[in-house]
Structure 1
Amino acid sequence: MYAIVEIAGQQFKVEKGREVFTHRLEGDADAALVFDKVLLVDNEGTIQIGAPVLAGASVNATIIEHLKGEKIIIFKKKRRKGYRVKNGHRQYLTKIRIDEIIF
């Protein structure tokens, strides 16, 4: 069984027990979350599609930890002009575990 759910503006395919990295969410570690924007549920071949969301469907999750992602280097250069800029970025992430899919 899996579901497609919208979390923090992004869509994820989730299953029970799977761990997902999302953009930073509110809450402390071990806090329970409920996502009610379920777009699709597949229950052993029986597919239910929402228009745009399924009424009464939800996904329960638990926050495992807050962390920062890999460092990304941004380098800009204009040739023959002496213009060089080096910048970096690390995205704030939240690791969540999917506990239950209710539909």
Structure 2
Amino acid sequence: MSKYAIIDIGGKQLRVEPGRFHDARHFAPIRDMSKSNTKMSVNRVLLIRDGSEVNIGYPWLNNADVRGRILHSCSKNKLVIQKIHSKKKKRRTPGYRETMTRFVVDSIHFNGKKLGDC
């Protein structure tokens, strides 16, 4: 697509497009994750592209935000770490699952206008 934004969320940079869903960990703006369809807004926008026009922030763009809603919280696949002691015939597989938050981007706004509006 020719309309997208790059945001800083959860210590990572994500390329987001309107209408698509994304997963983020350490989602700080919303504390209560139990409710679905909670509206959210992200102000840490690093770059916005609308067709051939590209706006780059230093470090973030002023008057830019990405609006969307939280769908639900989910978990990633289990990260497995195997510890094998060969002479003792002992195997252990500790691991953990990261908690992720799935959200969908509804619109991208820059200077009071929705991205794509003329």
Query: 1:48 corresponds to which residue?
Result: 55
Q: How many residues align?
A: 103
Judge conservation of contact 1:24–1:66 (CA < 8 Å) in 2. no
Is residue 74 of structure 2 the alignment partner of residue 74 of structure 1?
Answer: no
Q: Give structure 1 regions of 4+ aligned residues with deviation exceeding 2 angstroms.
A: 24-28, 76-85
Percent identity over paired residues? 30
Measured after TM superposition, the shift of residue 76 of structure 1 is 2.3
Residue among 10, 15, 20 paired with 2:12: 10
Matched, 1:36 2:43: yes
Mapped partners of 1:80, 1:64: distance in 2? 49
How far apart, in 2, do the equivalents of 1:100 and 1:70 lie? 29
**1:86 — aligned with what?**
93
* Structure 2 counterpart of 1:64, from 58, 71, 85: 71
Amino acid at match of 1:72: L
- Cα distance, 1:81 vs structure 2: 6.7
